[in-house]
Amino acid sequence: MIKYVQRIRYPPFEYSHMNPIHVPIVEVMINSETIIDTEFKIGNDKSWFAEFKKCDENFDDSNITVIEDKITTEPLPFLMKTRNGWYISPDPLHLISRKLITPTVILLILSILVHATEPVLLELDIISQSFAGSYRLGPLDYPKLLLFSFPIFLMPIIIRMVANMRDIKKQNNYVNNPIIPPDIEIQNSENKIAIKILSIPKDVHINGARLQVGMAVPERKNVLKSLKMNENQQPSPGMSTKMPEKRISTGDDLGTGVGEAMPMTLTHSRVLMLDSLRVLDSGNWVKIIKIGEEITLNGPDNIWPGSIYSSLITIHWELIIDATRTDGTNLKWIRPVTMSTKKSDLMIPIMPVRSGRIEVADY
């Protein structure tokens, strides 16, 4: 058995609202029969990071949690279920709605403040009489400014509802008329792949393809075990209480982002929208793709480790194809790729993190 140490501080769903230093580091030792030659560190200890290394004979393991875990180079089942096949891109209105939230809230607050200080503002001649006063509707008086600002405040909610209804329609169309997977040959090499698209469905147009790599959410039970916590205690920063249902996406097992990570989805055998990997790096999009012609997709500028899967640290590579259906539906086709690397000691100075919300994840 070979002993490995894994250390990770994985970004929570709303990582931009948290100081990484205050999020505890998860550190475990794993006994495994799988030989992993690559040691790596992605990020640094003062921010979000992940570290994977072998233990030497002088390593002091007295204060570290030991877990029984399987380390493999094959994609885990939940990733094959949630990141394999065709996925529908969220409606662009979701992003517009999110961008409108801040200005509409500010407008509403300013309207309330102006109404509250209205007599003083009138006396100082800061506002005119046309902004002051109220309109009588039935037995009640309503401030003039609020009658205009409140409908604007509701705009993001209305736009979000429209976007959800459009997403549901697209998903229903897909369920009633599914798309067969493309026929693609893939040849792996270090930090790049060569692909040849042999055939695609007639109603699908390919816009581009790229190779990307990321890290899935660590498994909840081993995170808690490492931190010497249990489900009855207050969760660690960045985590919520455990979800009552089984894991259906990469974010559910951590207990964050559920109900917010993605727009409304149908009850289906698999999720039809691609969940966001909060740690993700990629090569450039290749836009010109011809059927039967081999093209090369390069990986990220930083050399990443090959495919590694465990309960805490996963290095997950995948081919992603951006496509459009003839009915205008934007699609993504995902296929996991098993990669290897010849480098034994890798260092990536900054962990590439992104939002857990798929409408702003920049896929």
For 134-166, the pLDDT digits (tens) are 777 777 777 888 888 889 999 999 999 999 999
pLDDT tier for residue 309 given thresholds of 50, 70 and 90: very high
**Between 300 and 262, whose confidence is greater?**
300
Task: Give the number of other Cβ atoms within 10 Å of residue 228's Cβ.
Answer: 8
Under a CB-based contact definition with an 8 Å cutoff, are residues 72 and 34 in contact? yes
Percent of the chain with pLDDT over 90: 45
65-69, 177-181, 272-276: which is most confident = 177-181
**What is the model's pLDDT at position 169?**
92
**What is the model's pLDDT at position 254?**
43
Q: Cα 291 from chain centroid?
A: 31
Tell me the DSSP string of 245-283: SPP-STTTTTT-STTTSSS-----SS-SSPPPPSEEEE-
Q: What is the pLDDT of residues 49-76, one digit of tens each?
A: 999 998 876 666 677 888 888 888 899 8
**Above 50 in pLDDT, residue 36?**
yes
Average pLDDT over residues 172-194: 92
Mean pLDDT of the chain: 85
**Above 90 in pLDDT, residue 362?**
no
Q: What is the pTM of this model?
A: 0.85
| All structural domains of the chain with their residue ranges | 2-88+182-360, 95-165
pLDDT tier for residue 363 given thresholds of 50, 70 and 90: low
Q: Which residue has the tokens 């959410």?
A: 217
Max CA separation in the chain (angstroms): 83
69/311 Cα distance (integer angstroms): 7
